[in-house]
Amino acid sequence: MDCARDYKEPEQHPAKAMPPIHESILGQKSLGCQGMRIHILASGSSGNCALIEAGTGQDRVVLCLDCGIAQRTARELAEQAGLSLTHVDGVLLSHHHGDHSLNVLGVAARAKAPLFAHEEALSQAKRTRLSEVRRRGVEVRAVSDRHSFSVGPLTVTPIQLPHDAVPTHGFLFETEGRRAGFFTDFGEIGVLQEAGVLDGLDTLVLEANHDRRMLESGPYPYHLQQRVGGPLGHLANVQTADLLASSAPPTLRHLVLAHLSAHNNLPELALGAAADALDQRGLGGIILEAAPAKGYMAAGVS
Ligand SMILES: [Zn+2]
Ligand SMILES: [Zn+2]
């Protein structure tokens, strides 16, 4: 697979010159980094998968967040990140939709790693129901809204999001003073505007699913347009921009727009709306990029 084709050089937010962290973010395939790094392997309705890497040496952990793509593809993309999908320390499930849950059980079983998931999310898909979990010998650790848990040096806090798979969670990841957020698949921004949720983030992966005009005039039938654009659907670029304009923290260094629709959005529209919002917020020097549908991209501050 030619993943380099999909890789996009980070765009520089026009408000300020690229900060010196730029060099340390590009080409992050080496291990033993300090801090935390998010490796996005796939993003969008054709499948989602990301690896969260934190700590060093004996303390180093890697979590797999969702796996809605073929395991083989995920393994190959992980190798590009210098990581092994078969040695992850845990698998996290955001919600039961197939573009996220398809292979979470398979990845957890192969890695002999625990699956961190809300039990209702597991029970809603045949592929992850309890009998399957038992058959594959996977240990489930239940997660719930705002209840933090630790995996090695990484603290994970699930944040429940409004989406038409109940429950759906986004996640905050914290280690050694670094804080990252990963939020896709939600239709309203209010929960992330609550005091404290986005505070102190240096890295944010945030949904920018569709452009409203493209959705309205695009190929989706009316009922699907309503679902995607509704309060339990996905964020429009304008909502992502509203969230950034109201709540992007001054600590933010790296913003990745994610889960872009292949039919109802264009990276330049999403990036333009986000850049305007960051300007409005008075934030500069932020690396801003859009995650490719499939292909390796790293985000994080070392
Ligand atoms: Zn999704
Ligand atoms: Zn979903």
CA distance 65 to 52: 7
CA distance 30 to 159: 30
Cα–ligand 2 centroid distance for 19 (angstroms) = 34
Helix (H, G, I), strand (E, B) or coil at 26: coil
CA distance 236 to 226: 12
CA distance 208 to 54: 26
User: Band of the pLDDT at 17, cuts 50, 70, 90?
Assistant: very low
Kind of pairing between the strands at 140-142 and 149-151: unpaired
Give the dihedral sign, CA 152/44/288/71: positive
Q: Is 11 exposed, middle or buried (0-12, 13-18, 19+ CB in 10 A)?
A: middle
Which listed ligand is nearest to 48 at the C-alpha? 1
The predicted-structure confidence for 253-279, as pLDDT tens digits, reads as follows 999 999 999 999 999 999 999 999 999
What pLDDT is attached to residue 290?
97
Annotate 272-289 with DSSP letters as a single string: HHHHHHHHHHT--S-EEE
**Residue 101 above 90 pLDDT?**
yes
Cα–ligand 2 centroid distance for 168 (angstroms) = 8
The predicted-structure confidence for 116-148, as pLDDT tens digits, reads as follows 999 999 999 999 999 999 999 999 999 999 999
pTM of the model: 0.88
Q: Which residues surround ligand 2, an ion (CB under 5 A)?
A: 97, 185
Cα–ligand 2 centroid distance for 95 (angstroms) = 7
The predicted-structure confidence for 170-198, as pLDDT tens digits, reads as follows 999 999 889 999 999 999 999 999 999 99
- On whether the CB atoms of residues 95 and 62 are closer than 8 A, the answer is no
Which listed ligand is nearest to 45 at the C-alpha? 1
**Residue 231 above 80 pLDDT?**
yes
Query: What are the structural domains, with CATH classification, of the chain?
Result: 11-292 (3.60.15.10)
